[in-house]
């Protein structure tokens, strides 16, 4: 079994975890980090919203998949001594391959005491222990949101062969080690659609070679038609599933909204969910807008001239989007501790997971 870990490397020389150099407050003007305005950010939806979770996947565990039908059965009845018919249920196999990801942040009082944050420091021997200060409370609040986004980003954009442009699609200058631990759903979908082109529906604008054309060519009318084509191209088994869903970039969702507005109507069952997701129904199917997809494509799959498939849609089922975790949850605990010997304060989180499209037939992709 391949190791789920990567070899250790020398720790980088990091700058300040919280850099306030651009602020010119006096100490009396900034008494608490909570007085700072934190920029609005996108937050990740609950991972269970449209994935099915599997727990206790501690090893490279196999998944057996067997057809639910023999296919054609029934021939003309025979007379005496009839010959048996030949039928076979051919099983297929996939394998969970959980890999560990970690987040480690070290802080020393040195990077704090000459900044505006020194007002948050404790006295005496506790001076060096930042874990008991509002500094760490502030950091942990931000990090907890980022961990949720990290899980979703790896689940969908992970690619063990990730490379920077022009060798790959990752934006030049972005560290590919943030992407190459796992093979996420988009990478798996690329394999599925390469083997069966009928699983892929082209969305307008994606084939354009400038940002402007990618946006302008994808008109609401053409986008709506392409999404309908994607739905119509799905096999009947997908159409019959009670938990079928469509996941789309915000760019697609917004164009569907504009299309309906042009007809003088609106989405059915629309609601804005707490994590910033938008939910509605399209053709009777639950459809979710995932703006984080747009953000990541523009930031991390950008070659300087155009984005890598900025308009995306995935038609499948919640059951089919399987996410396996080693324990009963994912990154449920972010540990923080102080080492009095080194006087370093550390924030650390580690966990392992993997994701699988269980039934390759039950997908239809718009890209």
Could you write out the DSSP letters of every residue in 106-137? EEETHHHHTSGGGGG---GGGGG-GGGSHHHH
Q: Which of 70-74, 120-124, 313-317 has the lowest mean pLDDT?
A: 120-124
Vertex 326 angle, CA 339 and 5, to 5° = 60
For the cut 60, the answer to whether the pLDDT of residue 8 exceeds it is: no
Question: Virtual CA dihedral for 43, 46, 47, 48, nearest 10 degrees?
Answer: -160
How large is the average pLDDT for residues 251-256? 97
* Residue 13 confidence (pLDDT): 56
Residue 218 or 344, more confident: 218
Which residue in 250, 249, 253 sits closest to 261, CA to CA? 253
Alpha-carbon Rg of the chain, whole angstroms? 25
pLDDT for 235 beyond 80: yes
Q: Which sequence spans correspond to the domains of the chain?
A: 44-59+94-366
Sign of CA dihedral 181, 185, 187, 192: positive
Residue 117 banded pLDDT, cuts 50, 70, 90: low
Candidate from 58-72, 100-114, 215-229 with smallest mean pLDDT: 58-72
Whether pTM > 0.75 for this model: the answer is yes
- In this prediction, residues 236-251 reach a mean pLDDT of 97
Mean local confidence (pLDDT), 123-143: 81
Model confidence band, residue 18 (pLDDT cutoffs 50, 70, 90):
low
Confidence of residue 108 (pLDDT cuts 50, 70, 90): confident
What pLDDT, on the 0 to 100 scale, is given for residue 332?
A: 87
pLDDT (average), residues 325-331 = 90
Sorted by sequence, the CB contacts under 8 Å of residue 235 that are 6+ apart come out as 361, 362
Residue 34 pLDDT greater than 70, yes or no: no
Q: How confident is the model at residue 47 (pLDDT cuts 50, 70, 90)?
A: confident
Mean pLDDT lowest for which of 23-27, 76-80, 230-234, 347-351? 23-27
CB-hemisphere CA count at 13 Å for 14?
Answer: 13
The string of pLDDT tens digits covering residues 49-101 is 999 999 998 877 777 777 777 778 888 888 898 888 887 777 777 889 999 99
Highest mean pLDDT among 22-31, 125-134, 283-292: 283-292
Mean pLDDT of the chain: 86
CA distances in angstroms from 261 to 117, 256, 267, listed in the order given = 50, 9, 9
Judged against a pLDDT cut of 60, whether residue 182 lies above it is answered with: yes
Query: Which residue has better confidence, 189 or 35?
Result: 189
Q: Look at residue 114 and tell me whether its pLDDT is greater than 90.
A: no
Look at residue 5 in the predicted model and tell me its pLDDT: 46
The pLDDT value recorded for residue 187 is: 98
């Amino acid at each position: 079994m391949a190791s789920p870990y990567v070899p250790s490397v020398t720790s980088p020389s990091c700058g300040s975890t919280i850099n306030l150099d651009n602020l010119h407050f006096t100490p009396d003007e900034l008494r608490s980090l909570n007085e700072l305005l934190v920029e609005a950010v996108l937050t990740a939806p609950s991972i269970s919203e449209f994935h099915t979770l599997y727990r206790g996947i501690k090893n490279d565990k196999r998944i057996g998949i067997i057809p639910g039908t023999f296919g054609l059965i029934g021939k003309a009845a025979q007379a005496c001594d009839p010959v048996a018919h030949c039928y076979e249920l051919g099983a297929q196999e996939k394998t969970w391959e959980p890999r560990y990801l970690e987040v480690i942040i070290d802080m020393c009082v040195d990077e704090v005491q000459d900044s505006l944050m020194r007002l948050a420091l404790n006295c005496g021997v506790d001076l060096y222990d930042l874990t008991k200060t509002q500094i760490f409370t502030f950091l942990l609040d931000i990090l907890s949101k980022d961990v949720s986004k990290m899980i979703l980003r790896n689940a969908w954009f992970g690619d063990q062969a990730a490379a920077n442009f022009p060798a790959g699609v990752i934006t030049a200058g972005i560290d590919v080690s943030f992407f190459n631990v796992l093979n996420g759903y988009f990478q798996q979908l690329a394999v599925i659609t390469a083997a069966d082109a009928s699983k892929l529906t082209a969305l307008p604008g994606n084939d354009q070679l400038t940002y402007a054309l990618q946006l302008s060519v994808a008109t609401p009318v053409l986008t709506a038609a392409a999404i309908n084509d994607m739905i119509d191209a799905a096999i009947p088994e997908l159409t019959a599933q009670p938990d079928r869903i469509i996941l789309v970039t915000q760019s697609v969702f917004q164009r569907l909204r504009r299309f309906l507005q042009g007809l003088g109507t609106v989405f059915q069952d629309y609601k804005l969910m707490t994590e910033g997701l938008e939910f509605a129904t399209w053709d009777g199917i639950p459809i979710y807008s995932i703006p984080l997809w747009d953000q990541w494509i523009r930031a991390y799959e950008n070659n300087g001239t155009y984005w890598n498939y900025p308009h995306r849609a995935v038609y499948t089922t919640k059951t089919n989007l399987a996410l396996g975790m080693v324990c009963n949850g994912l990154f449920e605990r972010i540990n923080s501790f102080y080492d009095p010997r080194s006087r370093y304060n550390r924030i650390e989180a580690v966990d392992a997971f993997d994701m699988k499209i269980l039934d390759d037939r039950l997908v239809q992709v718009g890209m």
